[in-house]
Amino acid sequence: MKRKLFMALGLLAFVATPVLAAGLWPDFPIVGGASYCASTSTGVSGQVCTVTVPAGPAALTGSETVPADTNLAQGQPPQTVKVPVTSLASGAYANVSPLTGTSVVIPNNVSNYLITPAGTIAALTVTMPSAPTDGQVVRISSSQTVTALTLNGASGQTISNAPTAITISTTATYGYEFIYKASSKIWYRLN
């Protein structure tokens, strides 16, 4: 009888474990959030916080990773991976205020590159990140017109359908968006 009970408990533990692996991430600090109580106990004076989670960082830096399940068939490894935040929809941003005739490089782990010069720029050269991840999206936008834009890939990279200017408009979107395909080392223009 004891043997059957232990076998049943073992089977129950085996079946219940995958349910927890699909995203139970308690007691982590929250980006931009304050500290919070993760566990309490009842003491002489009532409920007392026994585990305090510290406040999270003020903002994302662009180098974070997010755990994700791959759901590959038949338990094929890896079942869980870390995804760079730059591969997700948003991500970190960088802001530059270049002068005309200068060259700037988009830093690694940056998805949104904001160009905010004092006025119109006659010529600007922008180089894409040197170590992008497969599927990384980079958006480039300017608050002022860039008359002659040269957009370069980093060493070994190419740009498909590279734009030659950024024209500010009050009736249409301005700026560009690219996605990186690591196998071909090409930045493909999305818009």
| pLDDT score for 177 | 95
What's the count of helices (H) and strands (E) in the chain, helices before strands? 1, 13
Burial (Cβ within 10 Å: 0-12, 13-18, ≥19) of residue 136: buried
Per-residue tokens: 187? 């930045």
Cα 147 to Cα 39, 93, 151: the distances in Å are 58, 23, 13
Contact predicate 93/113, CB 8 Å:
yes
| pLDDT score for 147 | 96
Contact predicate 94/113, CB 8 Å:
yes
Residue 186 makes CB contacts below 8 A (sequence gap 6+) with: 153, 157, 158, 159, 160, 180
Contact predicate 159/127, CB 8 Å:
no
Contact predicate 34/54, CB 8 Å:
no
| pLDDT score for 44 | 85
CA dist 32 and 23 (Å) reads 21
Tens-digit pLDDT string for the chain (191 aa): 544 444 444 444 444 444 444 456 678 888 888 999 988 999 888 899 999 999 988 877 778 888 888 888 999 999 988 888 777 766 778 999 999 999 999 998 899 999 999 999 999 999 999 999 888 999 999 999 999 999 999 999 999 999 999 999 877 778 999 999 999 999 999 99
Cα 18 to Cα 6, 77, 118: the distances in Å are 20, 14, 55
Per-residue tokens: 178? 């690219």
| Domain residue spans of the chain | 85-189
